[in-house]
C-alpha cells in the first residue's frame, strides 16, 4: 500500500498529500484526475482516517465503481466497502432512508422515475379538467424539476410574483396549483421523485440541526468529482456538510462545463476561492491522452473564452499529425467521407472498429453517418440513444408509411391511430379488435364495418374513426402517383407531427423535430441515389424495403464497433481517432446559443471537449449545404474553426464539383453552380473527352461509396445511357449509369 505514490507525477502528488483544509484541483482533459481522487482517498486511509468518515460524490455509478475497485485493489475490499462513495442521488437517498421521519416521510418511501412523475401529473391535469394543449405533462414535469433544483418549493413559488407571471404569460396560470397538488399526492403516497432526493436533503439539513450536526461530524473528509457540473441544490448540500471541518476537495475542469441545460452552474467552480478563502489550488496541466498538435489546437480554441480559470495544458506525447479539416458538399457527402476514411484507415493500419468515434452536436446527425457506414458494412453502435431508425418519432412516421403501403399492418395502425392525439382511446381500439375478430378482417377494414346506428360506438367516435380512415386512404392514393419523399413530406405535415412536438416546447421535443427533419433528409437521399441506378425505383414501397433491411442490420450485435454519440455523451471518454461532424454556424454553435456570450462560451467548451477526446488523430468536418424542410440551405463554417491556430490544421476538400441533373429543385438536393466562371465548350469536341469509366472492362473490380466493393458483370447502352451491371458484395446486383457513377477501379 505504501508504494502508491510512485504512480503519481509531482503535480498529482501535491493534492494527494494535502490533508486538512479546503482544496480545489483544476484538472485538464486527460490529466489523470480520477487517479488523483482515488489516491487521495487511499492516502487518507493510510494516514489513519476511518473510511466511514470519508464521503466521495460522483455523477455516474461507473465513476464510483471504478474508483472503489481501484481502492480495494490497493487497500482491501472490506475497507473500500465502508466508504461513503456514490452518486449524489444514491448517497442522499441513503441519508433520507435513515432520516426521513424528521421531515415527515417514512423510511420506506418510494422513488418515482421520470415516467412515474409524468403519469401522476397527467392524471392531475385530467382531474383539473385543464386544456391539454396548454398543460402538457412533460412540460409541467420539467418546470417542476427546474424549480426544485433551484431550491424553490411550493411555498416559495407562491411568494414569487415573477414566477407566477411567467406561467401566466405561458397560458399556464394553474401551474402553481398543479405543483401544489403534485407535491401533496407524492407526500400522501410516500413518494419522492429524483429531484426530491436533492430538495429533501437540503430541507433536512436546514430544518433539523440534529441531522446536520450528525452528518457534519460523520463526513470529516468530502471529495467531489466533476465539480463544474454541480447545480445550486448540490452546492448547498456540499457546503452545509463541509461547514464544520472544511476538509473539502473538489476536482473539475471549468473548460469542460457543458451541462447548464440541466442546471449545472459553472460559478460553483469559478468562485470556489471566494466560497473558501483559505483554500489551496492545484493544477493538473499535463495531458497524458493526446498528441501535441491536438492539445495545442484545443488550447488555442478555449483561450477565446473569457470566463475561465488560468491554466495551460501541455503534453510530452509525440507531436502527431495535424488536425484534418474536411469540407464536404452536403451532409450525405460528409457521411460518405467519414465512412470511406474509416474504411481506408482500418485497412491501411489494421485498426479495429472500436478505434473510431464519430461525435456530433445533435443526435439527428447520426442518420447520414449510419447510412454511410451501413452501406460499406462497417459495424457501429449509437450511444446515448437509440439507433436513428429505432427512435420513437422516426418509428411513428415509418408506421404511417407502412400503413399506407399495407392497410392490413395491424401493429402500425395501433401505433399511430391516436398519435398525434385525435380522441381515439384504448377502449375504442379494444372494440375495433372485437369487431375485426367477429368478421375476420383487419383493424383498418373493421372501421368501414361500423354501422352509423351501432351501439358499440358513439356518433362522435364513429366520425373520428371515419376521419382517420379517410386520411390514410388519401395518403395511399397520393403515394400511388408520387415518390417516397413527396409522400413522406405530405404525411408529416398533414398529421401535424411537427406542431405537436413544437407545442411541447421541451428540449427533448425539439430533438424529436430535428430527427423527423433528418428522416425527411434520408428519404430525399434515397430519391437522389435512385437517379444513379438505371431504371431506379423511387417509390414508397422500395424505400420501406430499404429501411426494413437497415433495421435487420441494426439487430446484429458485435463487440467491435465504431462509436457514434453526441458530444455530451462522449465526455469522459477517449478514442484513438475522432471525427467531429457538422461544424457549421447555427448547428455548432447551436442557433439557440448565439444570442449570449455565456451560451457561446459553453458551446466553445463543448467543442473543446470534443477535440480532447482524440488520442492520435482528429478530423473536423463541415458542409457547404444542408437539406432542411425541402430547401437547400447554404452553410457557413462554424466560427470555432477560425479560432483554432492554423498551424495545427490541414485543410482538405471533398466537395464534389459536378452539375447534377435538374429534377424538381424543390424536392431534391441540387448544387447550383454560378456561371460566371464557366467557359464555353465546343460541342464538336465532346467526343474527344475521355472518361476512364466509359472504358471500364468486364470483370473489373470496382469500389462504390455507397455499395462497397463489386465486380462488373455486363456493360450495355450507348452515349449518356451507358450502364454497367455490377454485383456488389454487400449491395447485391445494381445497374449503374456511368454518367453519374461514383466508382473507383480497384487495381
Partners of residue 735 on adjacent β-strands: 725
User: Is 162:215 a contact under the CB 8 Å cutoff?
Assistant: no
Q: How many CA atoms lie within 13 A of 572 on its CB side?
A: 14
Task: Specify the length of the chain in residues.
Answer: 747
Separation of CA 567 from chain center = 7
Which residue in the block uniquely carries the three cell numbers 503535480? 11
Q: Give the alpha-carbon dihedral of 472, 473, 477, 482, to 10 degrees.
A: 0
Angle between helix axes 459-481 and 392-405 (nearest 10 degrees) is 80
Measured CA to CA, the distance from residue 144 to residue 118 in angstroms comes to 11
Q: Which runs of consecutive H residues, i.e. helices, occur in 219-330?
A: 232-242, 267-270, 272-275, 292-302
Does residue 338 contact residue 581 with C-beta atoms inside 8 Å?
A: yes
CA angle 628, 630, 635 (to 5 degrees): 35
Q: What grid cell was written down for 94?
A: 441513503
- How far is CA 728 from its chain centroid? 33
The CA distances from residue 266 to 194, 257, 321, 592, 602, in Å, are 22, 6, 33, 19, 10
DSSP state of 307: S
CA distance 116 to 122: 10
Q: Could you tell me if 340 and 376 are in contact, meaning their C-beta atoms sit under 8 angstroms apart?
A: yes
For every residue of 429-464, DSSP letters joined together read: HHHHHHHHHHHT--HHHHHHT--TT-SSS-HHHHHH
**Beta-strand pair 356-360/562-566:** parallel
Question: Which active-site residues does the annotation give?
Answer: 33-34, 225-226, 256, 613
* Beta strands at 701-704 and 743-745: parallel, antiparallel or unpaired: antiparallel
Of 665, 637, 631, the residue nearest 651 (C-alpha):
637
Q: Please give the C-alpha separations between residue 99 and each of 108, 215, 267, 661, in angstroms, as whole numbers.
A: 11, 11, 31, 72
Q: Which of 340, 302, 359 shows the shortest CA–CA distance to 608?
A: 302
For residue 744, what is the enclosing H or E element? Answer: strand 743-745
| Distance, CA of 224 to CA of 203 (rounded, Å) | 21
- Name which of 332, 388, 380 is nearest 362 in CA terms: 388
Is 575:563 a contact under the CB 8 Å cutoff? Answer: yes
Identify any residues that bridge with 328 across adjacent strands, giving them in sequence order: 623
Distances (CA, A) of 485 to 336, 406, 492: 21, 18, 11
- Exposed, middle or buried: residue 603 (CB in 10 Å: 0-12, 13-18, 19+)? buried
Helix (H, G, I), strand (E, B) or coil at 40: helix
C-alpha cell at 671: 448544387
Give 349's Cβ-side CA count (13 Å radius): 15
Which residue from 295, 241, 250 is spatially nearest to 268, judged by alpha carbons?
A: 250
283 DSSP 8-state letter: E
| Distant-in-sequence, close-in-space partners of 450: CB < 8 Å, separation ≥ 6 | 435, 456, 457, 462, 465
Using CA atoms of 29, 31, 33, 35 in order, give the dihedral in degrees to the nearest 10. 140
CA-angle at 655, arms to 654 and 661, nearest 5°: 135
Identify the DSSP state of 355.
G
Amino acid at each position: 500500500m505504501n508504494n502508491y505514490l510512485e504512480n503519481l507525477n509531482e503535480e498529482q502528488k501535491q493534492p494527494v498529500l494535502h490533508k486538512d483544509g479546503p482544496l480545489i484541483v483544476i484538472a485538464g482533459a486527460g490529466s489523470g484526475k480520477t487517479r488523483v481522487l482515488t489516491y487521495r482517498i487511499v492516502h487518507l486511509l493510510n494516514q489513519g482516517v476511518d473510511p466511514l468518515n470519508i464521503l466521495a460524490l460522483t455523477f455516474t455509478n461507473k465513476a464510483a465503481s471504478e474508483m472503489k475497485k481501484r481502492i480495494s485493489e490497493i487497500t482491501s475490499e472490506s475497507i473500500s466497502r465502508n466508504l461513503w462513495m456514490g452518486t449524489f442521488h444514491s448517497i442522499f437517498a441513503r441519508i433520507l432512508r435513515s432520516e426521513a421521519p424528521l421531515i415527515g416521510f417514512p423510511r420506506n418511501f418510494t422513488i418515482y422515475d421520470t415516467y412515474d412523475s409524468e403519469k401522476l401529473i397527467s392524471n392531475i391535469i385530467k382531474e383539473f379538467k385543464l386544456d391539454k394543449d396548454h398543460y402538457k405533462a412533460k412540460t409541467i414535469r420539467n418546470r417542476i424539476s427546474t424549480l426544485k433544483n433551484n431550491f424553490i418549493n411550493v411555498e416559495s413559488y407562491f411568494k414569487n410574483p415573477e414566477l407566477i407571471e411567467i406561467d401566466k404569460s405561458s397560458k399556464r396560470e394553474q401551474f402553481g396549483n398543479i405543483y401544489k397538488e403534485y407535491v401533496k399526492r407524492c407526500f400522501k403516497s410516500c413518494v419522492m421523485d429524483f429531484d426530491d432526493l436533492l430538495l429533501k436533503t437540503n430541507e433536512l439539513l436546514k430544518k433539523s440541526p440534529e441531522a446536520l450536526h450528525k452528518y457534519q461530524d460523520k463526513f470529516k473528509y468530502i471529495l467531489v468529482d466533476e465539480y463544474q457540473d454541480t447545480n445550486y441544490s448540490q452546492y448547498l448540500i456540499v457546503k452545509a456538510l463541509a461547514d464544520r471541518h472544511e476538509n473539502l476537495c473538489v476536482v473539475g475542469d471549468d473548460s469542460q462545463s457543458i451541462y447548464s441545460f440541466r442546471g449545472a452552474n459553472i460559478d460553483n467552480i469559478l468562485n470556489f476561492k471566494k466560497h473558501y478563502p483559505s483554500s489551496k489550488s492545484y493544477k493538473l496541466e499535463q495531458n497524458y491522452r493526446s498528441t501535441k498538435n491536438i492539445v495545442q489546437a484545443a488550447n488555442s480554441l478555449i483561450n477565446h473564452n473569457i470566463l475561465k480559470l488560468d491554466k495551460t495544458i501541455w503534453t510530452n506525447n509525440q507531436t502527431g499529425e495535424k488536425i484534418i479539416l474536411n469540407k464536404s458538399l452536403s451532409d450525405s457527402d460528409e457521411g460518405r467521407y467519414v465512412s470511406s476514411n474509416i474504411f481506408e484507415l482500418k485497412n491501411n493500419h489494421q485498426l479495429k472498429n472500436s478505434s473510431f468515434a464519430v461525435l456530433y452536436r445533435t443526435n439527428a446527425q447520426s442518420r447520414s453517418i449510419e447510412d454511410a457506414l451501413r452501406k460499406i458494412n462497417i459495424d457501429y453502435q449509437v450511444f446515448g440513444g437509440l439507433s436513428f431508425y429505432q427512435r420513437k418519432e422516426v418509428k411513428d412516421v415509418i408506421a404511417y408509411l407502412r400503413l399506407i403501403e399495407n392497410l392490413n399492418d395491424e401493429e402500425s395502425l395501433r401505433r399511430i391511430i391516436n398519435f398525434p392525439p385525435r380522441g381515439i382511446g384504448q377502449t375504442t381500439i379494444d372494440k375495433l379488435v372485437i369487431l375485426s375478430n367477429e368478421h375476420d378482417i383487419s383493424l383498418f377494414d373493421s372501421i368501414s364495418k361500423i354501422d352509423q346506428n351501432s351501439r358499440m360506438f358513439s356518433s362522435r367516435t364513429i366520425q373520428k374513426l371515419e376521419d382517420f380512415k379517410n386520411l390514410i386512404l388519401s395518403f395511399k392514393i397520393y403515394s400511388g402517383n408520387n415518390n417516397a419523399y413527396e409522400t413522406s413530406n405530405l404525411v408529416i405535415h398533414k398529421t401535424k407531427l411537427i406542431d405537436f412536438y413544437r407545442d411541447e416546447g421541451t428540449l427533448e421535443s425539439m430533438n424529436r423535430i430535428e430527427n423527423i427533419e433528418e428522416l425527411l433528409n434520408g428519404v430525399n437521399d434515397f430519391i437522389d441515389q435512385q437517379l444513379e441506378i438505371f431504371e431506379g425505383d423511387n417509390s414508397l414501397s422500395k424505400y420501406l424495403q430499404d429501411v426494413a433491411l437497415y433495421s435487420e442490420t441494426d439487430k446484429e450485435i458485435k463487440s467491435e464497433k465504431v462509436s457514434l454519440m453526441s458530444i455530451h455523451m462522449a465526455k469522459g471518454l477517449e478514442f484513438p481517432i475522432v471525427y467531429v461532424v457538422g461544424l457549421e454556424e447555427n448547428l455548432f454553435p447551436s442557433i439557440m446559443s448565439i444570442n449570449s456570450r455565456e451560451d457561446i462560451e459553453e458551446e466553445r467548451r463543448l467543442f473543446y471537449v470534443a477535440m480532447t477526446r482524440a488520442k492520435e488523430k482528429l478530423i473536423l468536418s463541415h458542409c457547404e449545404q444542408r437539406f432542411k424542410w425541402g430547401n437547400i440551405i447554404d452553410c457557413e463554417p462554424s466560427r470555432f474553426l477560425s479560432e483554432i491556430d492554423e498551424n495545427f490544421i490541414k485543410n482538405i476538400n471533398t466537395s464534389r464539383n459536378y452539375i447534377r441533373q435538374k429534377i424538381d429543385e424543390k424536392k431534391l438536393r441540387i448544387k447550383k453552380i454560378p456561371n460566371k466562371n464557366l467557359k464555353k465548350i465546343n460541342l464538336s469536341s465532346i467526343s474527344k473527352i475521355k472518361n476512364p469509366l466509359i472504358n471500364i472492362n468486364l470483370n473489373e473490380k470496382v469500389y462504390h461509396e455507397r455499395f462497397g466493393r463489386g465486380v462488373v458483370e455486363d456493360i450495355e447502352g450507348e452515349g449518356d445511357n451507358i450502364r454497367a451491371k455490377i454485383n456488389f458484395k454487400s449491395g447485391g446486383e445494381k445497374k449503374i449509369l456511368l454518367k453519374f457513377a461514383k466508382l473507383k477501379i480497384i487495381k
